[in-house]
Every structure is written in structure tokens, then in C-alpha cells.
């Protein structure tokens, strides 16, 4: 196989099914360091862009093993779509996050607050594990799930920094940076997700699950103050795509939906597929930016090989000029889900006063309506959801 990201993702999945998935449930919480990741799948960057769709992951795994043998892994794969659905029904959570982030950025831009914040960002806090994770995140664009939890806990409860600044730092640097999984996980650690509960890292837990790599004592704050809790009511939405004739539509791609599923390719056939440069959507750091670019470049090559017509535009201005002169009367776009990509798209379409019709992913539509309350309830629907996707 040639070394495309798509092929890499399929190889990783196959290796994980052969060597890691059966021991996943009892090994997954160990972070053995960046050189030893055989206990987890490392599929998140691909799943995040849908280079590997959740449906493919789930169906491939279940071809090899019964659900009861690999349940923990399948549940984790469902967590991402659950978080997305939870946020879709609570748009205000994302809007509040962005507003509070802006004010925290300005509050922490001078004086002692800035100094402490910058020491953390540079990995100079004196808390060894935390300082290492800062470097690891910058060098690899990835952190193990348990380390993400410990990191967020130390950031919020020990260093007493605003959680929004930490979430923003993650989103900038993670190759799998996902507005829903990231924002909601940080809120959960902070104590904003479940009333009366937050996640607090302990030195013993870090020592055990870092396989003894970190054993500093008396470094973490244990006097935790829970923040004020605000309940966000789930608003059920309809995700209906306006009907379009099979042919001659103009469809916009975005970086969050690079799906290789046959059902996605079917939608695109005999239509014009457009991509507009996304660089100004959000300030991703070098690694995620490079991953985004490579994923999109590869995807466009794949579509062209399938005989699908594609057109690239450097800016929205170029795109709208083209649209005005074209014979198309409408624009369709794959729905990017709540996050900076959607905000940017909405902003541009409002600016140019053009209507936008979204195309929703079938798996998202299927799952999101069950994401109104806790994951425990959602989890009970997993067998039903699986029965609908294979
Ligand atoms: C503070 C914090 C921030 C996070 N930010 C992100 C993020 O921006 N993007 C992201 O994809 N995940 C995020 N996660 C979840 C999780 O850490 C990563 O999905 C996981 O570490 C990816 O590694 P993996 O592919 O080897 O996962 P595996 O353990 O092999 O799991 C398989 C897949 O299931 C999904 N998954 C697993 N755990 C979770 C979870 N807790 N929440 C949502 N999906 C999950 C991912 O798609 C993952 O690829 C965050 C977790 C925390 C605590």
C-alpha cells in the first residue's frame, strides 16, 4: 500500500485489531510514553477527520470479534459522536466557551497572571510530568487520554489557570483536536459537566498509570473548589438536508468530513465539489496544520481518481465570484459540526448573503438524537445503533 493517510489509518486499525484490541479494556489507562503506544489504537487523528469513519472502525472490529469481547473499545469510539451530539443540542456551551476564552486571553496577557500562564505554556512549572506533557504535545501533536485528564486537572486545580486557556492550547496543538471532545472533556475536569463532580488527578494514580515514570510527591493541590454549575437544556434539532437532484449540484467540502465511505462518494458523483482554503479559520500549530493540508490534498486526489470534478479556491471571495457567474442556484456543504469551521462558514455565507444547505452524515444523525443526557444512557443504545450501521 502507498503511504497515504488513508492507508496509514487502515494499517493502524488492522494492527490494532490483531494485537491490541483484546487487551484494550485493562491496558488502555496506562501511558507508557510516546515510544510505546501499543495498548491504544492511535486512530483519533484519522477518525477526527473521518479519513476513517466511525462506522468503518466499528464494523471492521465487529467482523473479527463479538461485541462483548471488545465492548470497551467500541464504547470509546462512540464517545466522540456522543460528545458531538451533546454539543449540537447545546450550542450555547460553545458560544460561552468562546466568549470566556476571549476574556481570559485578555486577563492573562499582562502582569503576574501572564507570567504564570507563560511558565505553564513553556513547560517550566517544576511539575515534571506536566512539563514533559507540554513538550510531548508540541512535539507529537498527541497526548494519551489519561495524561490529557491529568494535564487538565493540574492546569485547572493546581496551577489555577482558566480551563478555557488550556482547552485552547490543546485545540491548537492536538492533531486530533476536536471542538466537542476537547471542550466537553475540559469542562468535565473543571466540574462544569456533572453537578458536584470534577476530575482531580492524584500523585499515586499518575505514578501507577505512567508505569512509574512520574513519582514526584506533594505537588498537586488537593483543596478543590467547585465552580458555579450551570445547566444547559438540550434542544432537539432536525437534521434534514434539503432534497437535491442527484446531478449538477455545487457541494462544499470541509476538513471535518473527509469520508471515504461509499455512501459519501455516491453523494458527490456527477456534482461539482469545491474546496476553499481554510487556513484562517483557526490558528492551528504546525503539526495539525500540516495534517489538515495533507488530508485535504490526498482527498482531492482520491476524488479526482474517482472521476469526480473538483475545484479549489484560495478565498471565499473567489468562490462567491465563481458562484455568481455559474449556472448553480444553490450551495450545499457537508455539515462541519459545532466548532470554528462551522462558525467560519456561517460568517462567510452571511457576509455574502448567500443561502447554505447542509448535508448531514447519516451516522451523526442516527446517534445525535440519543445524546440528550448522560453517556450511561447513550451507552445502552449502542447495540441498537450498531444494528443500524452494519
Ligand atoms: C482534556 C481532554 C481533551 C481531549 N481532547 C480530545 C480531542 O480534541 N479530540 C479527540 O479526538 N479526543 C479528545 N480527547 C479524548 C481522548 O483523549 C482521545 O480521543 C484519545 O486519547 C485518542 O487516542 P486513541 O485514538 O489512541 O484512542 P483509543 O483509546 O484507541 O480510542 C479509540 C477512539 O475512540 C475515540 N475516543 C476514545 N476516548 C475518547 C474520549 N474520552 N472522548 C472522545 N472520543 C474518544 C477516539 O476517536 C479514539 O480514536 C480528550 C480527552 C481529554 C481528557
Q: What is the pLDDT of residues 187-216, one digit of tens each?
A: 999 999 999 999 999 999 999 999 999 999
Residue to mutate, 80, 134, 172, ligand 1, most ligand atoms under 8 Å from C-beta: 80
Determine which residue's CA is closest to atom 6 belonging to ligand 1. Answer: 182
| 242 band by pLDDT with thresholds 50, 70 and 90 | confident
Determine which residue's CA is closest to atom 30 belonging to ligand 1. Answer: 41
Determine which residue's CA is closest to atom 3 belonging to ligand 1. Answer: 182
| 7 band by pLDDT with thresholds 50, 70 and 90 | very high
User: Residue 81 C-alpha to ligand 1 middle, in angstroms?
Assistant: 11
Q: Once rounded to an integer, what is the mean pLDDT over residues 338-357? A: 94
User: Residue 259 C-alpha to ligand 1 middle, in angstroms?
Assistant: 19
Determine which residue's CA is closest to atom 33 belonging to ligand 1. Answer: 77
Alpha carbon distances (Å) from 102 to 107, 283, 339: 9, 14, 15
User: Residue 80 C-alpha to ligand 1 middle, in angstroms?
Assistant: 7
Q: What is the pLDDT of residues 67-89, one digit of tens each?
A: 999 999 999 999 999 999 999 99
Average pLDDT, the chain: 96
Determine which residue's CA is closest to atom 5 belonging to ligand 1. Answer: 182
Determine which residue's CA is closest to atom 16 belonging to ligand 1. Answer: 145
User: Residue 182 C-alpha to ligand 1 middle, in angstroms?
Assistant: 8
Residue to mutate, 31, 39, 76, ligand 1, most ligand atoms under 8 Å from C-beta: 76
Q: What is the pLDDT of residues 116-149, one digit of tens each?
A: 999 999 999 999 999 999 999 999 999 999 999 9
**Among the listed residues 279, 257, 256, the one whose alpha carbon sits nearest the alpha carbon of residue 268:** 257
User: Residue 114 C-alpha to ligand 1 middle, in angstroms?
Assistant: 29
**Among the listed residues 308, 294, 225, 314, the one whose alpha carbon sits nearest the alpha carbon of residue 266:** 308
Q: Which atom of ligand 1 is nearest to the CA of 182?
A: 5
Q: Which atom of ligand 1 is nearest to the CA of 189?
A: 1
Q: Is residue 244 scored above 80 in pLDDT? A: no
Name all domains of the chain by residue range, CATH numbers in brackets: 5-88+371-376 (1.25.40.80), 97-209 (1.10.579.10), 250-359 (3.40.50.620)
Q: Which atom of ligand 1 is nearest to the CA of 166?
A: 1
Q: What is the 3-state secondary structure (H, E, C) of the chain?
A: CCCCHHHHHHHHHHHHHHHCHHHHHHHCCCCCCCCCCCCCCCCHHHHHHCCCCHHHHHHHHHHHCCHHHHHHHHHHHHHHHHHHHHHHCCHHHHHHHHHHHHHHHHHCCCHHHHHHHHHHHCCCCCCHHHHHHHHHHHHHCCCCHHHHHHHHHHHHHHCCCCHHHHHHHHHHHCCCCCHHHHHHHHHHHHCCCCCCCCCCCCHHHHHHHCCCCCCCCCCCCCCCCCCCCCCCCCCCCCCCCCCCCCCCCEEECCCCCCCCCHHHHHHHCCCEEEEECCCCCCCCCHHHHHHHHHHHHHHHHHHHHCCCEEEEECCHHHHHHHHHHCCCCCCEEECCCCCHHHHHHHHHHHHCCCCCEEECCHHHHHHHCCCCCCHHHHHCCHHHHHHHHC
User: Residue 178 C-alpha to ligand 1 middle, in angstroms?
Assistant: 9
Determine which residue's CA is closest to atom 8 belonging to ligand 1. Answer: 177
User: Residue 171 C-alpha to ligand 1 middle, in angstroms?
Assistant: 12
Residue to mutate, 153, 176, 187, ligand 1, most ligand atoms under 8 Å from C-beta: 176
What's the pLDDT score for residue 13? 98
What's the pLDDT score for residue 285? 97
Q: What is the pLDDT of residues 294-334, one digit of tens each?
A: 999 999 999 999 999 999 999 999 999 999 999 999 999 99
Total-model pTM: 0.97
Q: Which atom of ligand 1 is nearest to the CA of 178?
A: 8
> In percent, how much of the chain has pLDDT > 70?
99
What's the pLDDT score for residue 2? 61
Q: Which atom of ligand 1 is nearest to the CA of 83?
A: 43
User: Residue 79 C-alpha to ligand 1 middle, in angstroms?
Assistant: 8
Question: Measuring from each residue's beta carbon to the nearest atom of ligand 1, which residues come in under 6 Å?
Answer: 28, 40-44, 47-48, 76-77, 79-80, 83, 144-145, 148-149, 152, 170, 174, 176-178, 181-182, 185-186, 189
What's the pLDDT score for residue 335? 97
| 280 band by pLDDT with thresholds 50, 70 and 90 | confident
Q: Is residue 1 scored above 60 in pLDDT? A: no
Q: Once rounded to an integer, what is the mean pLDDT over residues 27-39? A: 97
Q: Which atom of ligand 1 is nearest to the CA of 28?
A: 29
Amino acid at each position: 500500500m502507498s503511504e497515504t493517510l488513508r492507508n496509514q489509518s487502515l494499517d493502524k486499525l488492522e494492527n490494532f485489531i490483531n494485537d491490541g484490541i483484546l487487551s484494550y479494556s485493562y491496558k488502555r489507562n496506562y501511558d507508557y510514553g510516546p515510544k510505546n503506544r501499543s495498548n491504544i489504537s492511535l486512530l483519533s487523528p484519522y477518525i477526527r477527520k473521518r479519513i476513517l469513519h466511525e462506522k468503518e472502525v466499528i464494523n471492521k472490529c465487529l467482523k473479527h470479534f463479538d461485541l462483548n469481547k471488545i465492548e470497551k473499545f467500541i464504547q470509546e469510539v462512540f464517545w466522540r459522536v456522543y460528545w458531538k451530539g451533546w454539543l449540537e443540542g447545546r450550542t450555547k456551551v460553545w458560544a460561552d466557551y468562546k466568549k470566556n476564552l476571549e476574556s481570559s486571553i485578555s486577563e492573562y496577557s499582562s502582569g503576574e497572571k501572564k507570567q504564570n500562564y507563560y511558565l505553564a505554556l513553556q513547560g517550566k512549572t517544576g511539575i515534571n510530568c506536566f512539563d514533559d506533557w507540554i513538550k510531548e504535545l508540541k512535539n507529537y501533536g498527541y497526548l494519551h487520554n489519561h495524561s490529557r485528564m491529568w494535564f487538565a486537572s493540574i492546569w485547572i486545580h493546581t496551577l489555577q489557570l482558566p480551563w478555557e486557556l488550556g482547552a485552547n492550547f490543546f485545540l491548537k496543538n492536538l492533531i486530533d483536536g476536536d471542538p466537542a471532545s476537547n471542550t466537553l472533556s475540559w469542562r468535565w475536569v473543571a466540574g462544569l459537566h456533572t453537578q458536584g463532580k470534577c476530575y482531580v488527578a492524584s500523585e499515586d494514580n499518575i505514578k501507577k498509570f505512567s508505569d512509574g515514570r512520574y513519582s514526584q510527591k506533594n505537588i498537586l493541590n488537593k483543596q478543590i473548589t467547585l465552580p458555579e454549575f450551570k445547566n444547559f437544556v438540550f434542544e432537539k434539532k432536525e437534521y434534514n438536508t434539503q432534497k437535491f437532484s442527484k446531478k449538477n449540484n455545487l457541494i462544499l467540502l470541509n476538513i471535518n468530513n473527509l469520508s471515504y465511505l461509499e455512501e459519501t462518494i455516491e453523494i458527490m458523483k456527477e456534482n461539482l465539489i469545491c474546496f476553499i482554503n481554510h487556513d484562517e479559520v483557526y490558528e492551528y500549530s504546525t503539526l495539525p496544520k500540516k495534517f489538515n493540508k495533507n488530508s485535504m490534498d490526498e482527498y482531492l486526489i482520491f476524488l479526482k481518481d474517482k472521476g469526480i470534478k473538483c475545484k479549489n479556491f484560495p478565498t471565499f471571495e473567489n468562490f462567491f465570484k465563481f458562484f455568481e457567474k455559474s449556472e448553480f442556484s444553490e450551495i450545499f456543504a457537508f455539515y462541519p459540526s459545532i466548532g470554528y469551521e462551522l462558525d467560519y462558514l456561517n460568517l462567510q455565507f452571511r457576509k455574502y448573503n448567500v443561502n447554505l444547505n447542509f448535508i448531514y452524515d447519516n451516522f451523526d444523525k442516527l446517534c445525535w438524537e440519543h445524546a440528550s443526557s448522560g453517556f450511561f444512557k447513550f451507552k445502552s443504545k449502542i447495540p441498537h445503533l450498531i444494528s443500524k450501521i452494519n
